[in-house]
Amino acid sequence: MGKDYDAVIIGAGPGGYAAGIKCARNGLKTAVIERDKPGGTCLNYGCIPSKALLGSAEFIIKARHAHLMGLDVSFGEPNWGKIQSRKDAIVKSFTSGVEGLLRSNGAELIRDDAVAEGRGSVRLNNSGELLTCKNIILASGSEPKEIPSIPFDGEKVISSKEALSLSEIPKSLVIIGGGVIGCEMGCLYAALGCKTTIIEALPRLLPREDDWMGRLLEKEFRKINLKALTDVKVSSADTSGDLCRLNLSSGEVLESEKVLVAVGRSPVISEETAEALSLEFNGGEVVIDEKMRTSAEGVYALGDLAGKTYLAHGAYLEAEILADILAGKDGKIKDYRLVPRAVYSFPEAAGVGLSEKEAQERGIDYSVTKSGFLANGRSLAHNQTAGEVRVIKNNADGRIIGVSMVGESATEMISSARLIMGTNEKAGEVSFPHPTVSEVLKEAWMGAYGESIHLPPKR
């Protein structure tokens, strides 16, 4: 006879471990099963290691521009070994922290592979032990999508996972995909001195955001020697030689040492689990409702497996709400568009709420106010003047329904923008410290109501 739990969670990524901690805090007997490393893709192969590397790359760019700040700085080659060691140490500290948090909160971490055999029944593949439970939470995450004609080989054609742990900086890199991962990895390797090109099949970078954001990023990327080719597809590829040779739909031919395929991610779930539970799928994603319930009674799914946001903080949100639901409290996901979206490129980009295109598609009578970083005192003082903030207001009721931004500290400011979503409060009554970069958000917010003293009056 196996152990009995209130909740068994398959996967210890952001959604899985957060659900484990919160379920245990809510008094539920909880087990979290992980076949790889605690923290999932985010902590080990995604968010944390990529931002650690981008942090080093940002210093490189600032050093190169130090003369604009009145500083004479001599700059040598980046020490890739030390940069990687720093990244690895940061990752290790976080994964160790996750284990400690689960343990200290009373959740059991089980290192094994698992299959849900049916309602209330989870089998550990390696030990053969059977766990019984009242609720199963599927949080097995996602993996990089592969292009069938250009399969991953881990050497020349790589995914984002390999891109974070290369043994040396390549001399040239082509990135297929101009979304979040493509833009971030492009900025990283361009800053390191690698000849880097992004290829995006759609007409702009960040195709899920408003047009202006992708166009502005493409312009700014040129300043760090990052080239972007949009509205272009890879027709064929030859990776048999020393260099990868890519034939593009534009007729251009690119050669590079490595090719990074960054065309998105696909949910991961074992076929045995999917069949045993008779789960409903939409594409490769498990279908859930606003309470994270799947088509199988007593079975829930969250994070990348459900594919609502493909964001770690989106999974955190789902996990906390679901843990309360399982403890008998009321809760549901109100609107996934209220989960902020962040891109840690140079410059940064972020958004929350509706885009202008979505507002148009919904037939909303809206207006847009813009505020630029060039007119911001802190941005000028730090020589970070590229970009702007745009605020979208519903003209029918005066509520803020969307905010988008490209520029310094955008990924930090977007959380403040989330707090003004749905409000029609007078921005002039909210004080922002001066001088701060966040004042760019305030000006756009005030401008939406014609109250800004620094933006031209609305006509």
Amino acid at 269: I
184 is in an annotated binding site: yes
Q: How far is the C-alpha of 182 from the C-alpha of 228, rounded, in Å?
A: 10
97 is in an annotated binding site: no
304 is in an annotated binding site: yes
137 is in an annotated binding site: no
128 is in an annotated binding site: no
356 is in an annotated binding site: no
- Encoding tokens for residue 419? 């707090």
Q: How far is the C-alpha of 342 from the C-alpha of 263, rounded, in Å?
A: 17
Q: How far is the C-alpha of 232 from the C-alpha of 423, rounded, in Å?
A: 40
Q: How far is the C-alpha of 175 from the C-alpha of 423, rounded, in Å?
A: 40
Q: What are phi and psi of 144, to 5 degrees?
A: -60, 140
382 noted as active-site residue = no
Q: How far is the C-alpha of 366 from the C-alpha of 356, rounded, in Å?
A: 8
307 is in an annotated binding site: no
Write down the residue that tokens 């040598």 correspond to.
Answer: 76
264 is in an annotated binding site: yes
Write down the residue that tokens 């087990």 correspond to.
Answer: 31
Strand partners, 171: none
- Which residue in the list 65, 67, 382, 434 is annotated as catalytic? 434
133 is in an annotated binding site: no
180 is in an annotated binding site: yes
181 is in an annotated binding site: yes
Strand partners, 123: 115, 130
In sequence order, the 6+-apart residues with CB closer than 8 A to the CB of 148 are none
Closest CA to 91 of 45, 58, 158: 45
Q: How far is the C-alpha of 47 from the C-alpha of 91, rounded, in Å?
A: 10
183 is in an annotated binding site: yes
Q: How far is the C-alpha of 384 from the C-alpha of 192, rounded, in Å?
A: 20
Amino acid at 12: A
Residues in the annotated binding site for FAD:
51, 304
Residues in the annotated binding site:
51, 177-184, 200, 264, 304
Residues with catalytic annotation?
Answer: 434
Residues in the annotated binding site for NAD(+):
177-184, 200, 264
